[in-house]
Amino acid sequence: MMRMIRRLLIGKPLHNRELTHERLPKWKALSIFSSDALSSVAYGPEQIMLTLVAVPGLLAYGYMGPVAISILLLLAMVALSYVQVAKANPSGGGAYAIAKKNLGEYPALIAAGSVFADYVLTAAVSVSAGTAAIVSAFPALAGHQVIIDLTVLFFVLTMVNLRGVRESSNAFVFPTYAFLLGILALILTGVYQALTHPITAIPAESVVRQQLDWTILFLVLRAFANGCSSMTGIEAIADSVPMFKKPEAKNAVATTYWMAGILAVMFTGITFLTMHYHILPLNDVTVLSQISENVFGRSPAYYYIQITTMLILYLAANTAYNGLPILLSIVAQDGYMPRYLATRGERLTYSNGIILLTIAAAILIIVFQGETGHLISLYAIGVFISFTIAQSSMVIHWFREKSAGWQGRALLNGIGATVTGLVVIIITVTKFIYGAWIILVFIPIMIFIFKSIRSHYNSVAKQLSLPLEDIQDAAIDGPSDHIVIVPVSTPTRVVFETLKYAKVIGNRVFAVHIASDEKTAVKMRKKWATWQPGVELVILHSPYRLLMRPLLHFIEKKEREKRPKDFITVVIPEFETKKWWHRLLHNQTGWILRTSLILKKKIIVTTVPYHLDE
């Protein structure tokens, strides 16, 4: 039954040889790896604006331009640094792998914790932003955001990924280019309109920059920090160099430039239009939706923008499903996470990692009520920590390798590490109380968990390893005795069957009867005389009507008598009732006995199952 439902939803098991690796052309790779980065223009500029106009009386709208320009410069810097990463690591691998190779265990674990946090946030942020796009277009859906988010998470993303879709599927190509096309058309139309029909209604104060005091500076820096969320996903290409067609590194570098260029154009355009139309935050309507409505009205073009935005955002959430389970499997192979995260499920997907990601993202969405703005406060810090670690690793890499032109490359990555490290500090300071502290608490906790798991696995491996001399010692030990104890209350068919088994497995079998009065003892002896089961009957008197204690005493006595290599097995005669409620009508002695014996180190407990037919 359960299996049928699973087959229906997930599909039948796949053979090992069905695991394939396809090489991607640039145009396909661009669409697949850039959905996370490109889709962030749907919430990045909005988050900058929101922060700048959030405090009444402190309208800092005029600073939107400078903030946007800083982000563009940062984007260029990070893209250039990652081009170096792509060139130096043709085998791919994210910040964890690079840091492990160049910087050692702790930086690698910090990177792993940061990337873990950010993949989960990518899923949560992208899903909720995608839902926001569609709710903006169809206001009737307002108020049901969390339900929509969870439905997409469980029934689309999780199901599809458990089935295991090929990353190279064309289904992933279409939304990215459709979105790209829509946004470029929107920007071109918007800019054309702005040039031909200048709006005169822009309030004068909106372009005035207020005096830059400490409060305003803090606000501006926080806007910058929130805007940095647009840059998540930029590392995706460098992490996946081996998936490109030959020459891999060259193609990956070209694709990175393309992605950064497109992102820069879209980001600039959206920011310009936000300022031009003087968009202000509205409940349940995104900034992109407002711009699009201003440019196109509620025309089919408007709905096209909203729907492709939704699609690319859900696709961006899917990149977390492509990335995190693989990261977890690498970390698990190194023994820092539970081993079962490292093995592929029956559909060749890392199903345990997929389920873990879904649960974590669902918790975030529920706790933050699907509000993109609130989730953004936690976002980006992890990404920039991993950027910093990756760039620092590269510096070490160049110093070690000392290949041609290594000084220039080391300098570039050094600047990259410094800048992204600075961004980490800015994000930490400006967003600390808004949620960044959660990530800064989470990462050390994860490192502690990673280390604890690793040390447990090491200790188990040591305890379970078996040196050859132990085997040879065991070989000359000679045959073991096997003492079998069968507790018997009433002599029934079940006891008879159990005794037959006991005689097969052991050479010294004792049937032990606990008699609370002489009457049952006599009855038992009589039955034994009739049965002649060939097993010694031991009657223990228990005038206090205790069952466990005399039996345990007997077992302990036998334990003291036996040689170290001998085994003691307790075989409990028990029957399985046909209906569950019938269990309530029988003594749970077998169960109690098993529970009390399970704690004894050297006793083996077993049951010969006897199933009642009625």
- Positions 568 through 607 that interact with a copy of itself (CB under 8 A): 569, 575, 577, 582, 584-587, 598, 601-607
If one asks whether residue 501 binds a copy of itself (CB under 8 A), the answer comes out as: yes
3-state secondary structure 23-87: CECHHHHHHHHCHHHHHHHHCHHHHHHHHHHCCCCCCCHHHHHHHHHHHHHHHHHHHHHHHHHHH
Least Å distance between CB 229 and a copy of itself?
Answer: 33
Task: Determine, following the binding rule CB under 8 A, whether residue 614 of this chain makes contact with a copy of itself.
Answer: yes
Closest CA to 107 of 119, 94, 120, 118: 94
Site for a copy of itself in 416-455 (CB under 8 A): 453
- Please, what is the minimum distance in Å from the beta carbon of residue 571 to a copy of itself? 9
Does 468 participate in binding a copy of itself (rule CB under 8 A)? yes
Q: What type of residue sits at position 119?
A: Y
DSSP three-state, residue 347: coil
Euclidean distance between the first and final Cα of the chain, in Å? 24
Taking the complex as a whole, the smallest distance from the CB of residue 166 to a copy of itself amounts, in Å, to 18
- The residue from 6, 9, 13, 526 that contacts a copy of itself (CB under 8 A) is 13
- 345 is a contact residue toward a copy of itself (CB under 8 A): yes
**Both structure tokens of 114:** 């940061």
Nearer to a copy of itself, 207 or 592 (CB): 592
Answer for which of 465, 519, 563, 580 binds a copy of itself (CB under 8 A) is 465
- Judged by beta carbon, residue 154 or residue 567, the one nearer a copy of itself is 567
Which of 496, 520, 523, 596 touches a copy of itself by CB under 8 A? 496
Q: What is the DSSP letter of 282?
A: B
Query: What residues between 174 and 213 interact with a copy of itself by CB under 8 A?
Result: none
Cα(578)–Cα(562) distance, rounded to whole angstroms?
39
Positive or negative: CA dihedral 523, 525, 530, 535: positive
Q: Do 190 and 276 touch, CB atoms closer than 8 A?
A: yes
In the complex, minimum distance from the CB of residue 54 to a copy of itself, in angstroms, rounded to a whole number: 42
Residue 602 CB, nearest approach to a copy of itself (Å): 8
Locate 158 and state its tokens: 């999780």
Positive or negative: CA dihedral 51, 57, 58, 63? positive
The mark string for 262-301 relative to a copy of itself (x by CB under 8 A, - otherwise) is ----------------------------------------
Q: Pick from 457, 508, 520, 559: which binds a copy of itself (CB under 8 A)? A: 457
CA–CA dist 255, 181 (Å, integer): 18
* Residues of span 533-562 touching a copy of itself by CB under 8 A: 543-546
- Residue 101 beta carbon to a copy of itself: minimum distance, rounded to whole angstroms: 25
351 part of the interface to a copy of itself, by CB under 8 A: no
Least distance CB 531 / a copy of itself (angstroms): 6
Stretch that binds a copy of itself, among 14-22, 100-108, 154-162, 411-419 (CB under 8 A): 14-22
CA of residue 583 relative to chain centroid, distance: 41
C-alpha–C-alpha distance, residues 49 and 37, integer Å: 19
Cα–Cα–Cα angle for 118, 120, 126, rounded to 5 degrees = 90
Count of residues engaged in binding a copy of itself, rule: CB under 8 A:
71
**The one segment of 41-49, 142-150, 342-350, 369-377 that binds a copy of itself by CB under 8 A:** 342-350
Angle between helices 95-102 and 381-401 in degrees, nearest 10: 40
CB of 442 to a copy of itself, least distance (A): 19
Which tokens go with 250? Answer: 């060259």
Name the residue nearer to a copy of itself (CB basis): 215 or 459.
Answer: 459
Helices (H), ranges, 277-299: 287-296
Binding mask 505-524 for a copy of itself (x = CB under 8 A): xx---------xx-------
- Which of 102-110, 154-162, 274-282, 492-500 is the region at the interface with a copy of itself (rule: CB under 8 A)? 492-500
Give the residues across from 221 on adjacent strands: none
- Site for a copy of itself contains 567 (CB under 8 A): yes
Query: Per CB under 8 A, does 493 bind a copy of itself?
Result: yes
- The whole-angstrom distance between residue 16's C-alpha and the CA centroid of its chain comes to 24
Q: Which residues contact 93 (CB under 8 A, 6 or more apart)?
A: 239
Select the residue interacting with a copy of itself from 203, 247, 261, 609 (CB under 8 A): 609
Give the interface segment with a copy of itself, choosing from 139-147, 162-170, 300-308, 462-470 (CB under 8 A).
Answer: 462-470
Residue 144 engages a copy of itself in binding (rule: CB under 8 A): no
- Residue 174, H or E segment: helix 173-196
Helices (H) then strands (E): counts for the chain: 25, 5
